[in-house]
Every structure is written in C-alpha cells, then in structure tokens.
Chains A and B, each alone.
Chain A
Amino acid sequence: MTALYLVIPLALLVAGAALGAFVWVVRSGQLDDCDTPARRILFDDTKK
C-alpha cells in the first residue's frame, strides 16, 4: 500500500493542475460566450 502514498498525492497534483488550467481558461475569457461557438461550427472555411 506504500504505492498509494505516492500515487494519491500525484493524482491530487494532476487534479490541481487541471483546475489551474480551468481557472486560466475562465480568466482569459474563453468561456464568456458559450452560445456563438456552437453556431460557428456550421461555417466552413471554404473561401479564403
């Protein structure tokens, strides 16, 4: 079970890193508009 003493803190670190990334995403405004990107997927870049 000593493996757990290593693995669990590592897992928590990874979770913390993921949370940090999420906070960065929110603060940089990428999630301010969640409606328009859903519409944008319907465009293709066919023209230049």
Chain B
Amino acid sequence: MSALVHVAPVACAHCGLPVPDGRLRDDAPAFCCSGCEIVHAAIAEHGLERYYDLRRADAAAAEPSRTSDHTYGELDDSAFQRLHVTVGADGLARTALYLEDLRCTACVWLVESAPRCIDGVSEIRVDMGRSRADVVWDPERTPLSAVARYLDRVGHAPHPYRGMDRERQRRVEDRTLLIKLGVAGAALGNIMLLAVALYAGLFGGMSSHDTTMFRWISMFVAVPGLGYAATPFFATAIGALRARRLHLDLPLSIGIVAGLGWGAANVVRGVGEIYFDSLAMLVFLLLVSRWIVLRHQRRASSAAELLLSLTPTRAHRITDGVVTDVAIEAIVPGDLVSIRVGEVCPVDGELVEGASALDVGLLTGESNPVEVRPGDTVHAGTANVAAPIIIRATAVGEATRVGKLVATIEAMSSRKSPIERLVDRIAGRFVAVVTTVALATFVLWSLLASVSVGAEHAMALLVVTCPCALALATPLAVTVALGRAARRGILVKGADALERLATPGTIFVDKTGTLTMGKLAVVTWFGDVDAAVLASAVEAGSDHPIARALRAYAPTSRSAKNIREEIGRGIAGLVDGRLVIVGAPAWVRARISIDRHLLPDAIEYWIAELAERGETPIVVAIDGVAVAVAGLADPIRPDAGAALAKMMGLGWRVELLSGDDTRVVRRVGASLGFSPEQCTGNTSPEGKVAVVRAARERGPVLMVGDGVNDAAAMAAATAGIAVSGAAEIAIEAADVYLRSPSITTVADAIAGGRATLVTIKRNLRFSLVYNLAAGALAVAGLIHPLVAAAVMPLSSLTVLASSLRSRAFRSPS
C-alpha cells in the first residue's frame, strides 16, 4: 500500500515560492520554473547576488521571473533606430524601453546594474511608475539587442517604448501642475506671514500706515499668484459651464474669484476684510490633492501604451513574389505578409504557407507554444518561434483582436466613477444654495446695517463655504486605500475601480487557480494500488502535470528503462522487466487491446465513473493488462470556502464561468456549495462576454480571470480582476491586479472597496456638516478672517483624519 509522503514544501531559490515536485533536486538549489532558474544563473554569472538582499528588504510579495528566448534582432534594425534612438554629440545612443515585471527595489537595482555587466552600456535609469528604462550606450561597443537580451535574462523582458507623443503631452501636463503647485505654496507661505503680522496688529494695535502696506503686499502676492495657480480649476469650471454639466470646480472657482476680487477691492478702498490667507491655503491643498490623484493615474500604465510597444512597426509584405519592408500602416487585408522566426505577428491573418508554433504568451499567458498549420488564424502580437510562415492579412491595426481589446479598454477607463458623478451633482446644488443664501445675507444685512456690511458678510459666506473639504473627501480616502492595498499585493487602478468593487452584484470566477490550487493531483485510485509505484517510476523524467501528480502520489526511487513518452497521450517504460503503460484511456486502449478495443469491464466502469465525477481518468497497464485507473483533479483551495462565505456575506452572488469541461466545473462548484446553475463550463471567450453582458442587466458584475480570453469579458464587466500569473495584457486590461491567485485576496479586495466607499461617504458628510456650520456663522455675521483661517483648515484636517481611520485594506491584526 503506497502511503502519501508529506514533505515540507521546498522554496524556490530565486523567488521563494514552492517548488513543484518534478523540479526538486537533491544536490543543487531548486527553482519553481525555468524563468527563475535562468534569472538566478544570470545573477550569479554577473556577481549580482546583492539582488537577494534587496529583495528581502522589500516587503512586496515575490513572484516567479519570466524570461523568453527572443534575440531582439529587430532593435538593431536601422528603420527602428531612426525612429526610436537618438545619438548624442558624445557618440552615445539613447533610447527608452518598456520593461516587464518591474515591481520592486531589487528589480530596479538589477536593471540599473547593467553597466557593470555589459561592456558598452554607460547608464540605465529606471522609472518604476512608468515601467520604463532609459538606456545610454555606445553603439560601437555593443548592439542594443545585446542589452535587450541581458534585460530579458534577468527577468525583465524589454519592449520598444512607443507612444512617446502621448508621453510628452502627459509630461507637460504634469510639470505644469507641479509648477502651479509650487507657486501656490510660495504664495501661501508669504501670505501667511503677512497675515500673521496683520492679526498681531489686531490685538496690539498697528499703525494704519503699516496695515495698508501689509494689505497691499498681500494683494500683490495673492492675486497674480493664486490667479495663476488656480487656473486648472477655472478651466474645468468654464468647460463644465459650456457643456452645461455640473462640476465641483464650479463652486470652488466662484469662491476663489469672489474672494480675490473682493479682497483686492477692499485693499484699494482701504476698508473691509481680506481673506487671502484662507484662499491660498484652499488653492494649495486642492492642488496637492490633484497632484496626488494624477500621480496615481500615471502609475498605472495604460494598456494602450503596452500594446503599442508590443506590436511591430514594420512588416514584410509580399507582392508578386517580392518581399518588401513596409510600415505596418501600409498593410491592408488581403496582403500577403511574411513572418520570420523570432518576429512578432504584425496583423491578424490566415496562415497560407508554412507550419510553425506561436508564442501566444502575450495574449493568453500560456507558456507552451501553440502549433499552427495552413488554414489556422494567427493573431497580431503573438511571436513566431519555430519556422517562417506566410499569412494573408485579415485584420490590421485597430481591427485586430488585440486592437479591438485596446479600444474597449480605453473607452472603459474614461468613465467617471459613481461617487464622482454624485459629488458633481452635489456641487451643482451647492452653487445654487450658496448663491441664494449669499444674496439673502446681503439683503438682510444691508437692511440691518449697511450695504458694505451686507457685502462683507455675503463675501465671507462665499469664501468660507468654499468646498475644499468636499473636493478632498474622495481623493484622500482613495489615496489611503490604494496605498494600503498595494502594500498587501492588491493593485487597484483608481478611485473608480475601488468603487466598482463596493456595490454588490455578481462575481464570475474562472475555476483554475482561483478556487483551486492550479495543479493536478491524484484524488482517486481504483484498482491495484501497487501499480501506483510502477506508474510513478515510469513518469520519473516527465515534466507533464499528470506525471508530477502521479509522482507526488507515490514517490519512489525505482527507475524505469526504455521510457517513451507521447506528449499529451501517455508514457511507457520497463520497470524491473515489466512493461508499464500509463496514459489517457483512448491511448491505452489502442495499445493493449487489439481486437476488442475495450479494456476489462471493471476498468471501463471506473473510467466512466471518474469522468462523471469530473476527474481526469488515467489508466495504468502492466504487461498488457490494465490494472488500475487514477482519477486526477485540481484540488480546491482550503481557504476557498471561507472566502466565498465572506463575499456572499457582503452581498455578492458568486458564479463559476470557465472554459473547462462542464462536469469538472460542476464538481468543483458542488464541493463548495454551488448549485449547478451557478456553474457554467465549456465557455468560449465570446461566450464569457455574452454571459457577463446578460448579468450586467441585473446589476454590477465582477470578472476574475487570468488570460486575454478573459480580458474581453473583464472589459465588459463593471470591473475586471486579474490574478497573479496572468498575461501582461490581462493585467493591464483589468481594474485590479492581485499578486496572489487565491480567492481570499479577491474577497479582501471587495471588502476593501466597500470600506473605502464607507470612508468616502463619511468624509462627504463631514464636509457638508462643516459647510452648514460655517455658512450659518457667516450669515450671522460672525465670520472674520481670523475665524476663517482657523475653521477652514479644520475641515480639511477632519477629512484627512477620517481618511486615515478608514478600515479599508487594514492588515489583519
């Protein structure tokens, strides 16, 4: 009787994640995948072991490294170099590359250490937020492709950084905002100094001469300074007015303009109060919040930019048997395009000549190349790895599968989140209410006292009810939440993504890897139990998931000879002189039962039984007789039940939507308490989109997935969640990326989204309460610049404190 041997999981020497059994070594360090192994070797070769020290210092969760076999020859192409490389007067060339998987300090160090390791590279500078590396090198001493190969070997595959125009535009926007922020800050500091002088004069007495001087200087600092710094708000407000839309910047702008104008008028007249210090604080704080939000938006690099980097700019068109290099825009459907080995397919097309294998990892995350033969469809963005092929273009540019995906993604990301729309609606009513009350105050006090007193109080009302806290309410709560979430390995792309996680609806989960462990294991064994050891011996050299499962079930040191494996079908070998065959039922039947094409009744019964249960049957035959059947399945994660309960407790309906066999999906669902209607299998990518769209009619929909076959469904859903191990495209397409594939993290992300919404609502309530109180004081004529200067920051601080107290994404204590 073979017993399950429990061995403590061995950690990958590179990334620390568990090593699958097939990769264990007795004497050498073990790695969880070939990517980690390659990167580890590269690090050792260049003497960069400090990488591991830095890795430990970083709290970020480790992930397996990814490498590819690309030679990057296209980077040395003169056409490419003309477009993307600049050569300086010093003879050094400069270019920008988009690097994959740049997520931690150690990664940055590793990349920036390249000058030490490649002769000819003088500098590499990384911008983590944009996943970008600026390379400076001597083209005489080393080609760009060599630099690219190095970067790939250390786990950060490079791509040309296209989209420079958009980048330049963004850079100008960012810098302008920062300058305005600086101007506001400088103005604020100086105005406050002058204001303190004036306040001191209130109590101690100050000559009118000095008072006038301070007031005039305040005005000269405030009006141009704040007038310039606050232009972002004015621009948005005017734009909203023109489009007859509501926007929070409208009451803000009114308050700022009224305050500056009235203050200037009072300085010139020589009487009346000035509120420049409160206004300066307001403008400064609001610009800070704008800048923080902008930074977050920039950090999540857009899917469009990645895709621009990944599709080639040139293609080899064949006209009348002659191959010419053309720009990719010149290709039209119907053109014949030749794709060489190592190149990326520039367009969608039908394969007409040649047979090869394509690396579709970019699109689906699959590491094994997919074979293609004439008649098969080929997609833009996949890499040709085996042999040269010729395709007839069927779709180019935006019409390609990948292009359409980008268009969907971009359309999605410009939507405003529900809370932002709510706040804008509040702003609209706000303006109406405040204007009415201001007019009423003016009239009231004009009658009670004098016109100038009436004007004073009305102006004070406008300044003091300026919705600074309201404008800060959402950005602060969101920033705190996003920062905390990132530290826990939950990368959320923005406020709207968080909000979409908050309102409950339906969640669609792909079975593999989220609810299950993501690897096969033997769960049932029918028949001769001693055969397990023999099967395990025969599977010794194979890397196939089934082989690993069998070896884990019955570890043995017995060895087999004459092993022959037919990939995906079965394996055969001699163990102690006995012929052992292990494989899929159809394959085994063909091998051992010539005349009847059926195995013994008991074995056939068990095969059918396992299939019914949703387990994969594997038959073991010894010396021509089938003696056992193993049932293999992907075991369910132990924490799945608790996580599902948590999500349902928050009001979500969870359903399984998978491309796997329906029986398997139902089996997984049944063991977790799902009813059969909630489990759908055999779904194509288009089918998933249809299901998601139908569910959207009933409420918000979340789609959890890991490949581009899920990405379209993710884009159609209210929010898409990509889990660890997903293709780069899927990560960029999703609203949330989870570093760990387990369902518990999904539950945490949802809980965090809900908690953030609670905080945002609390902040909004605070700011409205403050505005009511301040407004009441103003109407009563009790507002004075000193009072305003004290009360207005108080409201902002309250909102800040409330945001910090948020329970969103708090680490479990």
Contacts and interface: CB of A to CB of B under 8 A. Distances in A.
A19 B57 contact: no
A26 B299 contact: no
B217 A8 contact: yes
A32 B190 contact: no
A15 B190 contact: yes
Nearest to B194: A8
Given A39-B105, A40-B108, A42-B57, A18 B127 contact: no
Contacts of B108: 36, 39-40
Interface centre among A11, A36, A43 (most CB of B within 10 A): A36
B128 interface: yes
Contact of A43 (B109, B127, B174, B190): B109
Given A15-B189, A39-B128, A42-B54, A32 B175 contact: yes
Nearest to B171: A32
Contacts of B24: none
B426 interface: no
A23 interface: yes
Interface string B411-428: 000000000000000000
Nearest to A31: B178
A1 B210 contact: yes
Nearest to A32: B171
A43 B129 contact: no
Q: At the interface, is chain A mostly helix, strand, loop or mixed?
A: helix
Contact of B116 (A32, A39, A47): A47
B126 A12 contact: no
B183 interface: yes
A33 B221 CA distance: 30
Interface in A25-46: 26-27, 29, 31-36, 39-40, 42-43, 46
Given A33-B127, A35-B129, A18 B179 contact: no
A3 to B, nearest CB: 12
Interface residues of A, number: 27
B109 A32 contact: no
Q: At the interface, is chain B mostly helix, strand, loop or mixed?
A: helix
A6 interface: no
Contact of A34 (B57, B126, B189, B295): B295
B169 to A, nearest CB: 13
Contacts of B105: 39, 42
A44 to B, nearest CB: 9
Given A12-B217, A15-B190, A33-B127, A26 B178 contact: yes
B127 A26 contact: no
A26 B179 contact: yes
B182 A26 contact: yes
Interface centre among B47, B109, B182 (most CB of A within 10 A): B182
B210 A35 contact: no
Nearest to A18: B186
B91 to A, nearest CB: 23
Contacts of B200: none
A20 to B, nearest CB: 10
Contacts of A29: 171, 175
Contacts of A42: 54, 57, 105, 109
B213 interface: yes
Interface in B156-184: 171, 174-175, 178-179, 182-183
Given A35-B129, A42-B105, A19 B116 contact: no
Contacts of A47: 47, 116
Interface string B102-113: 001100110010
B119 to A, nearest CB: 14
Interface residues of B, number: 33
Contact of A15 (B47, B186, B210, B299): B186
Given A8-B217, A34-B295, A36-B127, A43 B54 contact: yes
A4 B175 contact: no
A19 B182 CA distance: 7
B295 to A, nearest CB: 7
Contacts of B299: 35
A32 B127 contact: yes
Contacts of B104: 39
A33 B108 CA distance: 13
A36 B111 CA distance: 12
A42 B217 CA distance: 45
A15 B194 CA distance: 13
Contacts of A11: 190
Given A12-B217, A36-B129, A43-B54, A26 B175 contact: yes
A12 to B, nearest CB: 7
B127 A48 contact: no
Contact of A12 (B116, B175, B213, B221): B221
Contacts of B213: 4-5, 8
B707 to A, nearest CB: 29
Contacts of B210: 1, 4
A12 B190 contact: yes
Nearest to A19: B186
Given A32-B127, A36-B108, A23 B179 contact: yes
B178 to A, nearest CB: 5
Contacts of A46: 50
Interface string B258-285: 0000000000000000000000000000
A36 B126 contact: yes
A8 B178 CA distance: 27
A11 B191 CA distance: 12
Contacts of A32: 127, 171, 174-175
A47 B105 CA distance: 17
Nearest to A33: B127
Contacts of B112: 40, 43
B128 A23 contact: no
A48 B116 contact: yes
Contacts of B217: 8, 12
Contacts of A33: 127-130
A32 to B, nearest CB: 6
A42 B183 CA distance: 32
A23 B182 CA distance: 8
Nearest to A16: B186
Contacts of A27: 175, 179
B215 to A, nearest CB: 12
Contacts of A36: 108, 126-129
Contacts of A40: 108, 112
Given A19-B182, A36-B127, 20 more contacts: A1-B207, A5-B213, A12-B221, A15-B189, A19-B183, A23-B182, A26-B175, A26-B178, A26-B182, A27-B175, A32-B171, A33-B127, A33-B128, A34-B129, A35-B299, A36-B128, A36-B129, A40-B108, A43-B54, A47-B116
| 9 closest cross-chain pairs (CB), A and B | A39-B105, A22-B182, A33-B127, A36-B128, A35-B129, A19-B186, A26-B178, A26-B175, A35-B128
11 contacts: A12-B190, A19-B182, A19-B186, A34-B129, A35-B128, A36-B108, A36-B126, A39-B104, A40-B112, A43-B54, A48-B116
Interface of B: 47, 50, 54, 57, 104-105, 108-109, 112, 116, 126-130, 171, 174-175, 178-179, 182-183, 186, 189-190, 207, 209-210, 213, 217, 221, 295, 299
